[in-house]
Homo-oligomer: A and B are copies of this chain.
Amino acid sequence: MTRNTQTQGTIKILRHESEILKNNPLGDKYVRDLYVYLPPDYESETNANFPTVYCLTGFTGRGKMFLNDNAFAPNLAERLDKLTGNGTIRPMIVVLPDCFTYYGGSQYINSSATGNYEDYLTQEIVPFVDENFRTIRDKNSRAVMGKSSGGYGALVMAMRHADQFGLACSTAGDAYFEFCYFPGIAEGFRSIKGDPKALVEKFWREDARKSKDDFAALNTIGMSACYSPNPDSPLGFDLPFDLKTGEIRWDVWERWLEHDPVRLVEKTAENLKSLKLLYIDAGTRDEFFLDLGAKILCEKLKQFGVPFIHEEFDDGHMNIGYRQTRSLELISQNFGNEKLREVRI
């Protein structure tokens, strides 16, 4: 944005040393910078505590990317400044965790092939934030939101950690793996050419041109590391296809499906019912068919009596940062309880 100025929040960067990520199998960093947005009022209202939102990035992302500068659209901090400034949302602390890995991401879950990122987020980062900032330490004042794999992470938090996160928003979150991942397996097979390690290394050589198939391959490898880890396999995980012929390994695929939000609803319905907010949206042109995933997920939620809000918008999977506004708005409206309001006065 070239034009507007307004009261600005503050970005704090805290160095956090993780016990859980120490000795992670990929040799990824265990000391990571945690970026946290504090609202404009934070410094002046020294007696106030604030609700908290955890924003999770998509695959190949990490928290600080939310602060990347963009020509015509605000980054997350600028968006928060604006929405807070014009009263659309109440002041809130926004946490931008880094769960990136050598394979492109962690899906915010534990895996012997990547590391225990679900534990890291819930057992280390949440307490760390609560220790370091004047948060409202209550699940109804702690939300999680994200897009794509970040939306998936938000769903996982809502399903398995509803005691910590009482509100969850998933934009184009990975769901119905048959549609969002399966078609990528054949594409990925071609570019993997029998050597998954070489494919990943190509992504770390910045001067190597990457094709559409290469991205499908990285995604398939990354998801395998998250969903079908196998300490006894040379790679540390099983791919859902035969490296030589491409034929699907259905046993491995079944292990993927156990992580599909559509299948997780049944086991986690009670947690989901306890949420103050469950918001699900996706674009009707989503290149990974995550609008269909959202629809099917919502059918399951209905079946199990879980309340939710579902919206669709006319767009694809990319360049939809503006949808953050809708999630933040709903989170802001649904935050809180009596105790919270007292704290604020």
Contacts and interface: CB of A to CB of B under 8 A. Distances in A.
A314 B208 CA distance: 9
A133 interface: no
Contacts of A246: 179, 289, 292, 295-296
Contacts of A69: 62, 64-65, 67-68
Given A176-B247, A183-B183, A245-B296, 18 more contacts: A3-B28, A60-B71, A60-B72, A62-B69, A64-B69, A65-B69, A68-B69, A72-B203, A72-B204, A179-B185, A182-B183, A186-B289, A189-B292, A190-B292, A206-B322, A209-B316, A245-B295, A247-B299
A100 interface: yes
Given A186-B183, A289-B186, A206 B2 contact: no
A206 B73 contact: yes
A209 B187 CA distance: 20
A206 B245 contact: no
A254 interface: no
Interface in A45-78: 60-62, 64-65, 67-74
A207 interface: yes
Size category of the A interface is 35 or more
Contacts of A289: 186-187, 246
29 contacts: A2-B28, A2-B102, A3-B28, A3-B29, A3-B102, A5-B29, A61-B71, A62-B69, A64-B69, A68-B68, A68-B69, A72-B203, A72-B206, A73-B206, A74-B206, A176-B247, A182-B182, A182-B183, A186-B292, A189-B292, A207-B315, A207-B322, A245-B296, A245-B299, A246-B289, A246-B292, A246-B296, A247-B296, A247-B299
